[in-house]
Amino acid sequence: MTAPRQPHRLSGQVAIITGASQGIGEAIAHHLARLGLHLVLCARNTQKLAQLADRLRQEAPDSKTLTLACDVRKHEQVQAVVEETRKAFGRIDVLINNAGVAPHTGLMQEISIEDIDRTIDTNLKGSIYFMKVAGKTAYPFWSIYDASKFGLHAVTEAVAEEQRTNNIKVIGIYPGAVDTSIWDDIHWDQEPKREGMLRADDVAESVAFILQQPPKVFIKEFEISPLQPTV
């Protein structure tokens, strides 16, 4: 006789995942749904979110999903996601601040103002907006992306210290190269070796591992990268 399946400790908790429409965010959604968390999936592409929600309902019927359109660069849209989440579920346990873009790579002086604004507004300010209510390695030709992620690293460290006494874990997860469509528009002399990159699922597994730690265990930072250099 098999023992009845015990619900997972995280079951019933509520996670907001930004940038859930594809790539790493989508992979994290699958893992957290399997652990029984309820999910608020946000991104700009609502069609992809709806398709993901359909798949999750089949895969993990105990996990409820809510999909919300949100451009993280718009503070009022971020606030609306938080309000809708509270209205629907009455709680927020986990925030996966994942939405991000990569600008065209190049020397700093070659990067357009549009790309600078888009990257800083999405990667850094968008995450700050969500915290308010990648990477630790600098790569040449990626100066603006690096700036957005180093800024986010600093904010993450500061808020982690502010919040740990409130029993809130603020965790920096820093993946190296992951084979997602973020690389599709990136072209330079030496093409990145995509087959050697991590899979979005590798990162999602790490996120699930981190979330499954006992309440008093605080993994402050987590770096995961391909064994061999890919870029």
Give the ranges where 73-165 is alpha helix by DSSP (H).
Answer: 75-89, 113-119, 126-132, 143-163
Q: How far apart are CA 10 and CA 131, in angstroms?
A: 21
Give min distance, CB of 29 to ligand NAP, in A.
Answer: 10
Closer to ligand NAP at the Cβ: 100 or 172? 100
Distances (CA, A) of 159 to 117, 131, 149, 162, 171: 24, 8, 15, 5, 9
Task: For the segment 25-64, give every residue that binds ligand NAP (CB under 6 A).
Answer: 25, 43-45
Rounded to 5°, the CA angle 137-201-121 comes to: 50
Identify the residue among 72, 78, 81, 155 touching ligand NAP (CB under 6 A).
Answer: 72
Asked if residue 73 binds ligand NAP (CB under 6 A), the reply is: yes
Asked if residue 134 binds ligand NAP (CB under 6 A), the reply is: yes
Asked if residue 175 binds ligand NAP (CB under 6 A), the reply is: yes
Segment interacting with ligand NAP, rule: CB under 6 A, options 86-94, 99-107, 163-171, 204-212: 99-107
Identify the residue among 78, 100, 111, 120 touching ligand NAP (CB under 6 A).
Answer: 100
Q: Specify whether the CB–CB gap between 175 and 204 falls below 8 A.
A: no
Q: What is the DSSP string of 92-109?
A: --EEE------PPPS-GG
For residue 173, count other CB atoms closer than 10 A to its CB.
20
Asked if residue 16 binds ligand NAP (CB under 6 A), the reply is: no
DSSP class of residue 29 equals H
Phi, psi of 66 (to 5 degrees): -125, 130
Closer to ligand NAP at the Cβ: 135 or 172? 135
Identify the residue among 135, 142, 144, 211 touching ligand NAP (CB under 6 A).
Answer: 135
Q: How many CA atoms lie within 13 A of 219 on its CB side?
A: 15
What does the per-residue mask of binding to ligand NAP show for 186-225, with x meaning CB under 6 A?
A: --------------x-------------------------
**Binding residues for ligand NAP (CB under 6 A):** 18-19, 21-25, 43-45, 70-73, 98-101, 122-123, 134-135, 175, 177-178, 180-182, 200
